[in-house]
Amino acid sequence: MAFRLPDCSGSVEGVHTVIVNDVVRAAWKAGIVIPAFNVPHLPMLEPVVRAVVDQDAFALIETARIEWQTFECYGPAAVCDAYRRFADPAYVRLHLDHVPVVDEDDLEVDYITLLRTAIDLGYDSVMIDGSRADLTRNIKTTSEAVALAHAAGIPCEAELGAVLREGAGPLPPYDELFASGLGFTSVDEAALFVAETRCDWLSVAVGNVHGAVSQVFRDRKKTQARLNLDHLAHLRQATGVPMVLHGGSGVRQEDVLAAIKVGIAKINIATELRQAFEDGLRTSGGLPAAKAAVYDRTTMLLRDTYAVSGMRRLITG
Ligand code: 13P
């Protein structure tokens, strides 16, 4: 299989025959999930990639603005550079996670420049996150982002609904949040949103929450989230595109496995691996042990939680 290789300098090598959208759609149809691992600390990238290769799985490596602002991954160019050093595109591809239209501090973001930067670097896919804007503006900004990504021949993920974040402002207790459906993606809006924006993958809120990044809460174990599978099934029916589960750390395994069968084709995991890395650094004081902890946790997720070991050939053709 031939690839479009990110070269971090703006030009493109190779032939673009297997694009990541084909892999995600193949996974979606086969009821297999593609894990997308965030690398909030740059040294996490190498052991994540090694685990994916050793498990003969397929995954995405991703980075989000909030991570390079909060942790040590230094931005899309640095992540792309590390990806180029360690990654084998037969096993992993590079995704730009969460480019917000309005950020967590309610500030406007120059999302077009960020998307262009990643596209010029050679990222394989991008995400626009207009979920803090109202529906009309989310549709407008997502449509712009989709046009930009498609012109470069790559897919664009978008978000509708509110995947809330632990430790960011007052949230009701989880059970209350789940029962009330607070922030859940609306089925009617989702049908309209996908039809209007032509986004390739849709991030949905069905009980999933993002792990904390705030100084006070970032070391705490995440609440075990559950997923409303009936709601997810309605969303699948309404949208007809692969769906993405953000806040993947610590979601009840039986719910994740069921959700994959109902249309979740990509799951984002950040907190679980970040905490493994940081705990490893704290307890051993050294990078080798921290990287070993990331390798072990990634292996466990691929093999035991998502059961995707050996699945690569099934979805990459
Ligand atoms: P967690 O940190 O909860 O795993 O969420 C990751 C995520 O959704 C990144 O976009």
Ligand 1 pocket check for 247: Cβ under 6 Å: yes
Atom of ligand 1 nearest to the CA of 272: 4
pTM for the model stands at 0.94
Catalytic residue, chosen from 97, 124, 129, 200, is 97
* 22-307 is classed CATH 3.20.20.70: yes
Question: How many angstroms separate the alpha carbon of residue 38 from the centre of ligand 1?
Answer: 8
What's the confidence (pLDDT) of residue 274? Answer: 98
Q: Is position 97 annotated as part of the catalytic site?
A: yes
What's the confidence (pLDDT) of residue 169? Answer: 82
C-alpha torsion sign, points 80, 83, 85, 89? negative
**Cβ atoms within 10 A of the Cβ of 282, count?**
11
Ligand 1 pocket check for 64: Cβ under 6 Å: yes
What's the confidence (pLDDT) of residue 284? Answer: 86
- For residue 231, what are the CA distances in angstroms to 42, 186, 206, 301? 36, 9, 7, 25
Return d(Cα 204, Cα 267) in angstroms, integer.
11
Residue-range domain boundaries for the chain: 22-307
Ligand 1 pocket check for 35: Cβ under 6 Å: no
What's the confidence (pLDDT) of residue 17? Answer: 52
Structure tokens at 101: 């239209």
Q: Which residue has the tokens 């010029």?
A: 120
What's the confidence (pLDDT) of residue 101? Answer: 98
Structure tokens at 119: 């596209």
Structure tokens at 76: 């899309």
Residues 47-62 have a mean pLDDT of: 98
C-alpha torsion sign, points 269, 275, 277, 280? negative
Residues 201-223 have a mean pLDDT of: 94
Mean of per-residue pLDDT scores for the chain: 93
Kindly state the DSSP code that residue 91 receives in the 8-state scheme: T
Cα atoms in the 13 Å half-sphere on the side-chain side of 9: 5
pLDDT band at 285 (very low <50, low <70, confident <90, very high): confident
Ligand 1 pocket check for 98: Cβ under 6 Å: yes
Amino acid identity for residue 169 in this structure = G
> Above 50 in pLDDT, residue 104?
yes
